[in-house]
Amino acid sequence: MDLRVKVGGLKDVVLSEPVSPTGQYFNSSVLSISILCVLEFENPFDDSSSLALINDVFLPINPRFSSIMVEDKQGVKHWKRVEVNAEDHIKIPCFPEGLSPESYDHYFNDYLSKMAMDPLPQTKPLWEIHIIKYQTSNAFGSLVFKLHHSLGDGYSLMCALLSCLQRADNPSLPLTLPIFRNFLKPENDPKSIISRVPHALSCALNTVMDFGWSIIKSSFLEDRQSPIHSGNKGGEFNRINITTITFSLDQIKQIKSCLHVTINDVICGMIFLGTRLYMDVTSEEEKNKRSTALVLLNTRYIDGFKSLNEMCQNQEAKSLWGNQFAFLHISLPQLHQCDESLKPIKFVQEIHSIIKRKRNSAAVYLTGMLLEFIRKYIGVEAAAQYVHNTLRNSSMAVTNMIGPVEKMTLSNQPVKGLYFMVVNSPKAPQSLVVTVISYMDQLRVTIGTEIGLIDPMKFRTCTEKAFSMIFDAAVKSK
């Protein structure tokens, strides 16, 4: 069908690809979610090839990077291809000259906080690149990609960004990824008919319980105000502070082997224990307040990729570009007095049990069907409000991505570190967001905390303490 619409000064331009339902939710009056991806460089960043990289490498990855979102006469949104002027998307901030790396840490953090607050202009393709030429404690220079979530989820956008990079040791070889397992894929797949009956009954029961709980949480049951949850009812945007912590991936794997769990279990257990420790030191009487975390899951049944090229070029993966994820509600285990000295691994074991059970459930798919029902019969804004309520009624969000095993370069410039953060403007429904990504032999945990509510340095210290407690307890338990 030939859909036509007036865009700016253009008349009767032809519309292209329809915007996915999730893409419409994420670019609405109540939600405008973006992803900040930060590349840290070992040497001062040379931006002389920036325009060529954008025009020759970045833009050809996907037509959405050269498109704006427009509405037809029926109010349905579509991606419309436009002419892209790369210079309009490049931002180079100016900080005072001659300061110490520690001073530039503050300027850089303030810049990230402001960037998170500023919405992307709707009149241009929904992405920006910010070049930071000042030396911080972590890098000689940084490159920050800001990409609107309606362009795609972390899987899609990470695939796109990493397509612009090469292996430092041999650019002709593809970057490789740790072999990963789909988060939602059941651990056991019964073969016989007899064994499938209790499995099916268990799946049905888990689905009813999880789907019912999801509706209750998203509709009206909000976590109470606590040291990590402001109870914001959707007022003005609250600025966030972005802090990172680096852990040894080998030590994470060591905990995994000792406790016979997954890396996801270890990560979530460490984050949740650190959160409870923070709540304890902030307000002991509120340390065990009901707190719910939203764990974001990739719902694609694609796993086992060994290289970035394979992930990007696989036809099945290519067809699943976009937003293919779901929320999993997980209640934070409670912190008892004995936990600090005796049972820190309980957090990991509890998370392992919860996720193992939720793998045997179709609730996340039913939630997707519910959102589509709301969108179809009530409208996109109603579906977006449902997603907003899901975020607002929980205390925190956790999401993680896998990154390359080898060191990367961008135009022959070595990348020292990599991390990302999910941000939302103009309204911030959550006070605490934690993201995780692996790169080489490190795991980078990024913490987004609401300014004025959560002390980022104290939360970082509690997370580091949680990791040490779990690691020591896991090694002793072997």
Residues 101 and 8 in one domain: yes
CB 270 within 8 A of CB 447: no
Spatial separation of the C-alpha atoms in residues 151 and 172, rounded to whole Å:
29
Structure tokens at 209: 């319980």
What are the tens digits of pLDDT across the range 183-207?
445 555 555 555 566 767 878 888 8
CATH number at residue 53: 3.30.559.10
pLDDT score of 6: 41
Q: How confident is the model at residue 304 (pLDDT cuts 50, 70, 90)?
A: very low
Spatial separation of the C-alpha atoms in residues 282 and 291, rounded to whole Å:
15
Of 167, 182, 201, the residue at which a domain comes to its end is 167
Burial of 224 (0-12, 13-18, 19+ CB in 10 A): exposed
| pLDDT beyond 80 at 301 | no
pLDDT score of 358: 77
pLDDT score of 38: 95
Position 318 in a domain: yes
Residues 321 and 467 in one domain: yes
Count of other CB atoms within 10 angstroms of residue 80: 20
Single pTM value for the model: 0.87
Position 91 in a domain: yes
Position 67 in a domain: yes
- Mean per-residue pLDDT, 459-469: 95
CA torsion 309→310→314→318, rounded to 10°?
-50
Residues 461 and 323 in one domain: yes
- Mean per-residue pLDDT, 11-20: 61
Cis peptide before 426 (omega within 30 of 0): yes
Spatial separation of the C-alpha atoms in residues 107 and 135, rounded to whole Å:
11
Residues 288 and 352 in one domain: yes
Residues 95 and 212 in one domain: no
Position 179 in a domain: no
Position 417 in a domain: no
CATH number at residue 204: 3.30.559.30
What is the pLDDT of the chain when averaged over all its residues? 82
Residues 234 and 357 in one domain: yes
Residues 130 and 206 in one domain: no
In the chain, the number of structural domains is: 2
- What secondary structure letter does DSSP report for 307? B
Cα Rg of the chain, angstroms: 22
CB 303 within 8 A of CB 252: no
Residues 160 and 208 in one domain: no
Residues 142 and 244 in one domain: no
- Mean per-residue pLDDT, 381-407: 88
Position 176 in a domain: no
Bridge partners of residue 422, in order along the sequence = 35
- What secondary structure letter does DSSP report for 291? -
Spatial separation of the C-alpha atoms in residues 220 and 77, rounded to whole Å:
29
Burial of 240 (0-12, 13-18, 19+ CB in 10 A): buried
Position 97 in a domain: yes
Count of other CB atoms within 10 angstroms of residue 287: 20
Backbone angles phi, psi at 369, to 5 degrees: -65, -35
CB 77 within 8 A of CB 14: no
Secondary structure, 3-state, 108-142: HHHHHHHHHHCCCCCCCCCEEEEEECCCCCCCCEE
- Mean per-residue pLDDT, 136-162: 85
Residue 346 lies in domain: 193-403+430-477
What's at 213, amino acid-wise?
Answer: W
Spatial separation of the C-alpha atoms in residues 305 and 237, rounded to whole Å:
39
Helical axes 249-259 vs 456-477, angle rounded to 10°: 50
| Whole-number percent of the chain with pLDDT over 70 | 81
pLDDT winner (highest mean) among 157-171, 346-360, 369-383, 454-468: 454-468
pLDDT score of 365: 79
pLDDT score of 14: 45
